[in-house]
Structure 1
């Protein structure tokens, strides 16, 4: 399947049950004081995240809090959030992170995501996360070549990665990610989903840590 066809399918498959975006269902403030767009998501749509092919879960597999991140390998805000999220994983034994590749920033991102999906199939979640952090800590555009170099850096066989990365069916995997992101009204990256709420954009480490702590304490993103 061509890359152009993949992008067309992403539009055609926009789900009719899409969540209604809301600029502030909860009064979530970013670390800089700005309001962060957020909205409720239907449980029947949120539950589909765990069923997506090609996702990777890291942290405590039985943790009390699951944070989902929809990200693009070339999203500067995703890169800025990445070390903060890693610190949260290390500091919170109850946190589980689900990574959903969401290639919305052009052909290089699609190429990089193909390699991501191959790496996810070939290695452990822990090693995938090491690869993921290598990409996030790099500068410049991440494309297929840059992603292949990162895969090699974490010990994977380049030919095996390329073989999987070039499979036609990976287009269907990426389309599934884009379709569900649309259904969740993830209109920018990074997009987070936690306890029935989609947060569009990165609120900063303090705000995100407070959201996670609230979910642990009272089961909602802001305790009453």
Structure 2
């Protein structure tokens, strides 16, 4: 649910426009220079109008929310344009789905995030059922040491064993029960037939740390502070989106293109 913080004068001006008969009259009111008597009279007028027309409050809030959403979308578009190369072609993030797909989805995720885990099967279903989506994973550990260890292990696997091994490890870590201790990660690598010793050694390498640091810096520039966060078909989507919602975004992008 969207949490809306009202800035007092803006909804007040909207309500005043309705209470006084139109936007033009509201614009003539100098809210900063009203006398105490004018303020009292104005307050009584607004109160009377709202008591008789309580639906106006919701109408004013809806207008404000729409304007703020439009402003946020415009700001997100600018952030996407300024950071496009790092988002879509950083040279180190894993690329799955259809690498030649006509739509790209980028996910900033944390293996210990409950909503990332909830989104995982739905993203997978979207990729498999669509077949024409390029999917990029941004390792963005923000929930403590267990998150960082998981991301380090996944990235080390990508470096040591390649993209197919990374995908196996990624899928396993999303559903991993319990903490990712060294023993657990070693056992996971061995179970998947990977070189556990080489991967564990790579986890603390400068290259692994660099990749995590670059993704964190990108997220900061993009004003991303939670997971999952997506870039879907050129649109910034902050938070979990159910499968039907993702399909609608992809479909709309194809229609517009």
TM-score of the alignment, normalized to the shorter chain, above 0.5: yes
In structure 1, distance between residues paired with 2:198 and 2:157: 9
Deviations 1:114-171 (A, max 9, x none): 1111111123423322221111122234455544433333221111101211213422
Residues 201, 210 of structure 1: alpha-carbon distance in 2 compared, 3 angstrom cutoff: same
In structure 1, distance between residues paired with 2:71 and 2:251: 15
Identify the match of residue 102 of structure 2 among 64, 67, 72: 64
Q: Report the structure number with the largest CA radius of gyration.
A: 2
RMSD, matched Cα: 2.5
Identify the match of residue 113 of structure 2 among 46, 51, 75: 75
Residues 60, 44 of structure 1: alpha-carbon distance in 2 compared, 3 angstrom cutoff: same
Structure 2: gaps spanning 5 or more residues: 1-66
Structure 1: gaps spanning 5 or more residues: 1-21, 29-37, 220-224
Question: 2:242 corresponds to which residue?
Answer: 204
Question: 2:133 corresponds to which residue?
Answer: 95
In structure 1, distance between residues paired with 2:151 and 2:182: 8
Identify the match of residue 54 of structure 1 among 88, 92, 99: 92
In structure 1, distance between residues paired with 2:243 and 2:180: 24
Residues 117, 64 of structure 1: alpha-carbon distance in 2 compared, 3 angstrom cutoff: same
**TM-score of the pair, normalised by structure 1:** 0.75
Report how many aligned residue pairs link the two structures: 189
In structure 1, distance between residues paired with 2:181 and 2:232: 29
In structure 2, distance between residues paired with 1:157 and 1:100: 23
Higher relative contact order (CA 8 A, sep 6+): 1
Structure showing the higher helix proportion among its residues: 2
SS of equivalent residue, structure 2 residue 200: helix
Residues 25, 105 of structure 1: alpha-carbon distance in 2 compared, 3 angstrom cutoff: farther
Please give the residue correspondences for 1:1-224 in structure 2 after superposition, counting only pairs within 5 Å. 24-25=69-70, 39-40=76-77, 41-52=79-90, 54-142=92-180, 144-219=182-257
